[in-house]
């Protein structure tokens, strides 16, 4: 009901109930003034609007039945007003007060069945929690970060941004399986291609990091598992392809090692120094398959940069190419 029409209705009620006397009429005028003031400041000064609504309801209580309709109208405005107040405080980084008032918005929204305010208030509350969670994660307080992100997801389990923060918390805690689960939830809930891309890039980098360390430690079976996961998120990473080819060769999966090495060669810029690492792994795969001729050819193409010395050793000592 528009303010103007509501005021007219209320004043009509005053005139039709003349037996209440001038005192009640004066009190109703004060009620209407408080209500109108609340409406006028609902967005510009929601804190003042809350106080005006409370004053209006207090006055309605003193008047009784003649003011019941105004009291009902005033109560219906609390949900939106507390939402406005909470979001304004959130914008000022006063998250403690914002959470308190958004919870009140939800409380009044439930009482008045205000679906729109409930949706917006829950969304804002979830957002505050995941912002706080990410701040705690950045400060390396993963326990607090997990507590807050749990609260965010409890409010809204469909928030892709909350799942991104959850994924990073798991990543920072080195919880690989949980991290992978959270990345999948980002892909499931996000409607933003950039969000999905960011999550997948983080996953590719994470599994590549662990996988490369395992390769360097000659733990090839474990490395394969991590690097295959990295490849699932980004199959164009040249570093990943090199380490995966090396891991496959290290586990005697020479056909796979050769396939991945060739993929790396195809992706490189046709620069011998950059292709050398893949030709070296191709040589190792051919040697493992027992094809000395192709192994020698591959190692010769690997004789550039940092791979030159090792390729030369394979050609002259291990395979004795040309003999």
pTM for this prediction? 0.83
Q: How many CA atoms lie within 13 A of 200 on its CB side?
A: 16
The model's pLDDT over 59-105, given as tens digits with 9 standing for 90+, comes to: 999 899 988 999 999 999 999 999 999 999 999 999 999 999 999 99
Torsion angle of alpha carbons 47, 49, 52, 53, nearest 10°?
A: -110
pLDDT at 7 over 80: no
* Residue 261 Cα to chain centre, angstroms: 35
The model's pLDDT over 236-286, given as tens digits with 9 standing for 90+, comes to: 999 999 999 999 999 999 999 999 999 999 999 889 999 999 999 999 999
Q: What pLDDT does 28 receive?
A: 84
Helix (H, G, I), strand (E, B) or coil at 156: coil
Contact present, 198 and 161 (Cβ < 8 Å): no
Q: What pLDDT does 273 receive?
A: 94
Distance CA 261, CA 255 (A): 10
Q: Which two tokens stand for residue 27?
A: 């009190």
Q: Quickly list H helices, 42-94.
A: 46-63, 68-75, 78-91
CA distances from 249 to 116, 212, 244, 316 (A): 59, 14, 8, 21
Distance CA 47, CA 11 (A): 27
Distance CA 73, CA 69 (A): 6
- How far is the first Cα of the chain from the last one, in angstroms, to the nearest whole number? 98
Listed residue (88, 92, 99) closest to 127, CA to CA = 99
């Amino acid at each position: 009901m528009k303010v103007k029409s509501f005021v007219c209705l209320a004043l009509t009620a005053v005139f039709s109930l003349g037996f209440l006397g001038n005192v009640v009429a004066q009190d109703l005028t004060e009620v209407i003034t408080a209500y109108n003031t609340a409406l006028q400041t609902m967005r510009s000064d929601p804190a003042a609007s809350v106080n005006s609504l409370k004053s209006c309801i207090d006055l309605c209580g003193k008047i009784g039945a003649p003011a019941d309709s105004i009291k009902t109208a005033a109560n219906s405005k609390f949900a939106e007003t507390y939402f406005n107040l909470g979001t304004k405080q959130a914008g000022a980084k006063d998250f403690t007060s914002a959470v308190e008032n958004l919870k009140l918005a939800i409380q009044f929204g439930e009482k008045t069945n205000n679906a729109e305010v409930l949706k917006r208030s829950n969304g804002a509350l979830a957002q505050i929690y995941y912002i706080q969670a990410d701040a705690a994660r950045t400060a390396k307080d993963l326990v607090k970060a997990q507590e807050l992100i749990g609260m965010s997801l409890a409010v809204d389990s469909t928030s892709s941004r909350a799942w991104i923060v959850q994924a990073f918390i798991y990543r920072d805690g080195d919880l690989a399986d949980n991290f992978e689960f959270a990345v999948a939830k980002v892909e499931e809930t996000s409607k933003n291609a950039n969000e999905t891309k960011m999550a997948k890039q983080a996953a590719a980098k994470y599994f590549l990091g662990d996988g490369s360390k395992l390769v360097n430690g000659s733990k090839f079976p474990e490395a394969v598992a991590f690097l295959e996961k990295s490849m699932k998120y980004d199959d164009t990473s040249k570093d990943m392809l090199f380490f995966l080819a090396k891991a496959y060769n290290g586990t005697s999966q020479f056909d796979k090692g050769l396939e991945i090495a060739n993929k790396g060669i195809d992706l490189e810029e046709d620069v011998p120094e950059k292709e050398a690492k893949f030709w070296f792994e191709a040589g190792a795969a051919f040697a493992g398959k027992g094809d000395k001729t192709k192994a020698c050819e591959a190692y010769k193409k690997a004789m550039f940069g940092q791979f030159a010395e090792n390729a030369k050793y394979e050609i002259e000592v291990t395979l004795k190419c040309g003999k």
